[in-house]
Amino acid sequence: MRHAILDVTALVLLAMGPATLAGQTPPPRPLSLAAALELAERQNLDLAAAERQREVARAEILVAGERPNPIANFDALRDEPHEGLFFTQDLELGGKRRHRIEVAQASAGLTEARIGTVATALRRQVREAYYALAVASAKVSLQQRMLELAQQLARIAHQRYDAGDVPWLEVLQAELGVHRAEADLEIARQQQRVALVRLNGLLNVPPETVWQPTDGLEALPPLQNLTDLIRTAQAANPELVELDRERRVEESRVGLARAEQIPNLTLEFGTDFNSPHDFRVGPRSHMSIELPLLNRRRADVAAALAGQREAEARLAAARRRIQSEVEQAYLELQARLAAVALYRERLLPATRQLEQMSQESYRAGKTGILTVLDAQRGVQELEASYLDSLFAAQSAFAALEQTVGTPLSSTGTP
C-alpha cells in the first residue's frame, strides 16, 4: 500500500511539470497585435454572444415567410343537412407575405450592423489593452533600470563614506533611494498584472496566461488624409451603418403597413351529408372579405411613415456629428504624435545627459547626492511620461479607427 501511494505521488509530480514544482509562472508567450485581434475575434464572449443574433434573425425571416394554415371543420346538426365537412383558408392579398419577409430581411441587416458595432468596439478595446500591457512591461523594465542606478549610487556613496569624503547622511539618502526604487518596481509589476488580466479577459484565455507584446509602442500607421478619413467614415462608421439599417427597416414597415390596408380573402369549401329530402352528399362553398369601412388602417401607415422620417432625421444628424468626431479624433492624434516627438527628440536626450553628468560629478566629489537623486527622479518621471504619451497616441489612434469604422492598416513610426 505504501509503495502504491509513492508511485501515485511520483506520477502527479511528473504531470505537474518542472515549472509548477518550482512555483514559477510559465514563460511569457510572444504576442503581436494582429494575433491578439485575431484571437479576440475568434474567442471573445461578447462578440460570440452578439453573433448568436444571426440565428435569431434567420429564424425571423423563416417565420415571416410562413403562410396561414387551413382550418378543418366538421358539423353534426339536428337540422338538415345533418353532417358537414369543410375547410377554411385565408388568402393574404396585397403582398403581405412579401412585405413581412422584407421587414425581416431588413431587420437581419440591422442585426449585422449591430454585430459590426460590437466587433469595432472590441478592436479598440483589444488594441488599448495590448498597448497598456506593453506600457506596463516597459515601465517594469524602466523601474528595474532605475533600481540598478539607485544601487550603483548607493555603492558610490558607501565608497565615498569609507574614504571619509561624505557624511553617513548621504549613505542613508542613497539607501532610501534604493528602497524607493524597489517600491516603484513592485508597483509597476502589479500594474503589469492588472493589464495582463484585462487583455486575457478580452481574449478569453486562462488568467494565468502571460504575454510578451512584440509590437513596439512606437509602431503606428501613418496619418491618412483627413478628407479621405471623413469619406470613409460616412460609409463605414458603425453608428451610421446601424442608423442606415434602421432607416431601411422603417421603410419596409411602411410597405407592410400599406399592404395591411388590403383585406384578406377567406375561402370555405367542403361537403354536406345526409339531407334526406334533398341529397345524400352535396358540395358547399363560402367566400368572405372584410369591408374597410370603419378602420382603414391609416393610423398604422401614418405611424410607419413617422418612424421612417424620424430614422432619416437621426441619420442626417449623425452624419454631421460623425464628421466632427473624425476631425476631433484626427487632431487629437496629431497632438499626441507631436508630444511623442517632443519627448523623443528633445526632452529625453537632455534629461538623460543631465542624469549621467550629475552621477559623474558626484563620483568626482563635485556635487552632493541630492543633485544625483533629483536627476534620477527626473529621468524616471520623464521616461514614464514618455511611455504614457506613447500609449496616449495609441489610444488616440484606436479612437480614430473606431470612429472611421474600418481598420487603418500599414504600420509606421510616430
Residue 6: per-residue pLDDT:
38
Residue 286: per-residue pLDDT:
87
pLDDT 10s digits, 153-212:
788 888 878 878 778 887 888 888 889 889 989 999 999 999 999 999 999 999 889 999
What grid cell was written down for 335? Answer: 497632438
pLDDT at 11 over 60: no
Mean pLDDT of 17-24: 45
Residue 279: per-residue pLDDT:
76
pLDDT at 281 over 80: yes
Model confidence, pTM? 0.81
Q: pLDDT band for position 124 (50/70/90)?
A: very high
pLDDT at 350 over 90: no
Q: pLDDT band for position 1 (50/70/90)?
A: very low
pLDDT at 261 over 60: yes
Mean pLDDT of 322-346: 92
CA 120 to chain centre: 6
* Highest mean pLDDT: which range of 119-128, 216-225, 274-283: 119-128
Euclidean distance between CA atoms 230 and 287, whole angstroms: 60
pLDDT at 24 over 70: no
What grid cell was written down for 149? Answer: 542606478
Going from the N-terminus, what domains does the chain have, and what CATH number goes with each? 29-216+224-322 (1.20.1600.10)
Decide: 76 and 243 in contact? Cβ < 8 Å.
no
Which tops the pLDDT comparison, 352 or 359?
A: 352
Euclidean distance between CA atoms 112 and 404, whole angstroms: 18
- The C-alpha angle 131, 132, 138, rounded to 5 degrees, equals 85
Residue 362: per-residue pLDDT:
65
Q: Which amino acid, 109?
A: G
The count of C-alpha atoms lying within 13 angstroms of the C-alpha of 176, restricted to the half-sphere facing its C-beta, is 11
pLDDT at 17 over 60: no
State what percent of residues in the chain have pLDDT above 70.
90
